[in-house]
Amino acid sequence: MKYSELGTSGVKASRVALGAMRMNSKSADEARGIVSTVLDGGVNFFDTADCYTAGESSRRLGQALKDVGVDRSKIYVQTKFGIYRDPKSDDITRYNFSKDHLLAALDSELKNLQTDYVDFVLLHRPDTLVELDELAEAFNELQSSGKVRHFGVSNVNPMQVEMLQSALDQKLEVNQLQFGLGHTGMVQQEIHVNMQDAPSVDHDGGLISYSRLKKMTIQAWSPFQFGFFEGVFIDNPKFPELNEMLQRVADAHGVSKNGIAVAWILRHPAKMQVLLGSMNPGRLKEMMAGADAEITAQEWYDLYVAAGNDLP
């Protein structure tokens, strides 16, 4: 397993991390097995959110970490807050970055995770009604209390980062964004700059270049999905050329197609971190192996084209 610093935080995190969104569906024994699998593979970073199944995913993760007996000081735990779900329907009804909501949400997560601090907390998507002074007060209180050590965001563009950062004493170290061979928009725009075709449309504000410039780590979520939770591209008959190329590169490096899909993300010099959402220990082992597979620049571009992208 390879490790790299998240942002400028000083935290040396595993290049792949376990995302716990689907852990609510697992028994205590299954959750313990999943956590043991990734720990054995060198993973030291775990991601969750307060809105995942009303906190149940965080509770399962917290209990699993306790059950395996891992030294809390040897791992990093991250959560996200700011999404409000209706407790009856579980529908998202708003985003809420108010001080009272964020403080209460973090306290609830600490209880769920059975810990007295988290290493990172991220604002979960943007709240267009955010009051910057109030957000700054919340972050200062969370930091001074020792409940949060580092901060970040998710699914926000560079201008939104700049706006938030202008009010905060804490550097925003990470931005959690959807990225992978099934969701390549951030690099499409960079490659098609100054063109007038569809891939040239900038939906993200130059996120990759901005993140590299600001030394802000991109955490890639849903790295195996295409569209917005439409399915996985691995072994999907909708993507024959991509799977053929994945297999060819996988054979060259002695890993699986799952591993190469991870290696493709990690090959980018932006030094991203990949969030693995699988709850299958076998697939997790295949994915983790990708952290040690160093594909070439040509293989990276071959996979990019095989995923349905053009080179102008």
pLDDT by residue for the chain (312 residues), tens only, comes to: 999 999 999 999 999 999 999 999 999 999 999 999 999 999 999 999 998 988 899 999 999 999 999 999 999 999 999 999 887 887 889 999 999 999 999 999 999 999 999 999 999 999 999 999 999 999 999 999 999 999 999 999 999 999 999 999 999 999 999 999 999 999 999 999 999 999 999 999 999 999 999 999 999 999 999 988 889 999 999 999 999 999 999 999 999 999 999 999 999 999 999 999 999 999 999 999 999 999 999 999 999 999 999 999
Which amino acid makes up residue 3? Y
pLDDT tens digits, 163-199: 999 999 999 999 999 999 999 999 999 999 999 999 9
The pLDDT, as a whole number, for residue 230 is 87
How far does the chain reach from its first CA to its final CA, in angstroms?
35
Q: Which residue has the tokens 């009804």?
A: 93
Q: Please return the burial class of 95, using the count of CB atoms within 10 Å of its CB with bins 0-12, 13-18 and 19+.
A: middle
The pLDDT, as a whole number, for residue 91 is 87
The pLDDT, as a whole number, for residue 54 is 86
The pLDDT, as a whole number, for residue 89 is 81
The pLDDT, as a whole number, for residue 130 is 98
The pLDDT, as a whole number, for residue 257 is 98
The pLDDT, as a whole number, for residue 69 is 96
Show Cβ contacts of residue 164 under 8 Å, excluding neighbours closer than 6 positions: 123, 130, 132, 135, 153, 156, 172
> Taking a C-beta distance cutoff of 8 angstroms, is the pair 164, 153 a contact?
yes
Any idea what DSSP says for residue 55?
G
Please tell me the distance from the alpha carbon of residue 75 to that of residue 117, in angstroms, as a whole number. Answer: 12
Any idea what DSSP says for residue 255?
S
Sequence-separated contacts (24+) of 23-28 with Cβ below 8 Å: 23/48, 23/57, 23/60, 23/61, 23/64, 23/279, 24/52, 24/53, 24/56, 24/57, 24/60, 25/279, 26/60, 26/279, 28/60, 28/63, 28/64, 28/67
Alpha carbon distances (Å) from 288 to 83, 91, 215: 30, 33, 24
The pLDDT, as a whole number, for residue 53 is 86
